[in-house]
Amino acid sequence: MTTARYDVLGIGNAIVDVLARAEDDFLVRHGMRKGAMTLIDEARATGIYDAMGPAVEISGGSAANTIVGCASLGGRAAFVGKVKDDELGRVFAHDIRAAGVAFDTPPASDGPSTARCYVLVTADGERTMNTYLGAAQDLHPQDIDADAVAGAAITYLEGYLWDPKHAKDAFLKAAAAAHEAKRLVALTLSDAFCVDRWRDEFLGLMRAGTVDLLFANEAELRSLYQTADFDSALAALRREARLAVVTRSEKGCVVVSRDQVLAVPACPVEHVVDTTGAGDLFAAGFLFGLAQGATHERAASLGALAAAEVIQHLGARPQASLKALAQERGLAG
């Protein structure tokens, strides 16, 4: 195993978020599951967009947000995901490259347009997401550069990737390339309903050792083991996962390995503006810490720090330098 060229390489849906504030009423009227991510077709996308308030366009995508977070912490980072060669595709490519991330996936020249996620943010800061996958679902195994994956200390995959047809194969190709180079593979479960769609396959990935490190929040973990009891789910996870982190919002997180269950507190936040990206940025901090050889505790604290930054403003990518924040808190290097 040679020195890694990247700390973290992420593979995920390349999406531009279209964020607007909304009342709870709006969610009810449009049949949206509050706090969840729902896949929508183009007609539904048009209907939602026509009905929603004035919006802001900000690059998003779960793993993409995580990778931008890694770069903001000072990590060497790369992203693989599919946009179309259209205006929003150029916005996505600009933003991720301008954040210092290597992004070389060629855009699609035809087919559906760049993916958009219509994010409704309610007064409590909760976000409800409606994703039109568009070009993102056309990520194919040939978009995976095995050499780039082999050169990344950790390859990170989002559970949402299990939805698009070919992306699943891209995912498996990347995991194989990573393991061949003796690197780590991490997966986030992404969303409780995503887990509901793909429970057996996600459990299979963990049991087969395709995934070395699992990220889940409480709802996703409960969905994975189909139990309302957090402790039972945690015990089941501990028997199966090599390493896992369960995030619990303001209660912090739990790092689970065979020999230890370690609770790490959240960073206190005065006012939650928009929880979009909280999980993504937690993963950024943890992955960056791990790739840099930090202890699990320090890695989790970096995750908490990054998550705290992103929930204090609109949008799922950091607005401040996370490296500077980590230095202020004595969490850097």
Residues that bind a second copy (CB under 8 A): 20-21, 49-50, 52-59, 68, 86-88, 91, 94-96, 98-99, 113, 315, 317, 319
Q: In the bound complex, what is the minimum distance in angstroms from residue 56's beta carbon to a second copy?
A: 5
84 strand-pairing partners: 108
CA-to-CA distance for 299 and 128, rounded, in angstroms? 28
Cβ partners under 8 Å of residue 79, min gap 6: 9, 10, 11, 12, 14, 63, 64, 67, 96, 101, 102, 103, 105
Q: In the bound complex, what is the minimum distance in angstroms from residue 58's beta carbon to a second copy?
A: 5
Residue placing its CB nearer to a second copy in the complex, 49 or 193: 49
Residue placing its CB nearer to a second copy in the complex, 64 or 266: 64
Q: In the bound complex, what is the minimum distance in angstroms from residue 33's beta carbon to a second copy?
A: 23
Residue placing its CB nearer to a second copy in the complex, 53 or 204: 53
Residue placing its CB nearer to a second copy in the complex, 108 or 213: 108
Cβ–Cβ < 8 Å for 189, 203:
no
CA-to-CA distance for 82 and 12, rounded, in angstroms? 8
Residue placing its CB nearer to a second copy in the complex, 64 or 294: 64
CA-to-CA distance for 123 and 53, rounded, in angstroms? 14
Q: In the bound complex, what is the minimum distance in angstroms from residue 53's beta carbon to a second copy?
A: 5
Q: In the bound complex, what is the minimum distance in angstroms from residue 243's beta carbon to a second copy?
A: 31
Question: Containing H/E element for 27?
Answer: helix 24-29
Cβ–Cβ < 8 Å for 181, 1:
yes
Only one residue has tokens 């004595």, namely: 330
Residue placing its CB nearer to a second copy in the complex, 113 or 275: 113
Of residues 238, 188, 4, 46, the one with CA closest to residue 130: 46
CA-to-CA distance for 246 and 252, rounded, in angstroms? 9
Q: In the bound complex, what is the minimum distance in angstroms from residue 314's beta carbon to a second copy?
A: 8
Q: In the bound complex, what is the minimum distance in angstroms from residue 324's beta carbon to a second copy?
A: 13
The CA-atom distances, in angstroms, between 157 and each of 4, 24, 134, 149, 290 are 18, 31, 19, 12, 16
Residue placing its CB nearer to a second copy in the complex, 242 or 313: 313
What tokens were used for 287?
Answer: 């992955």
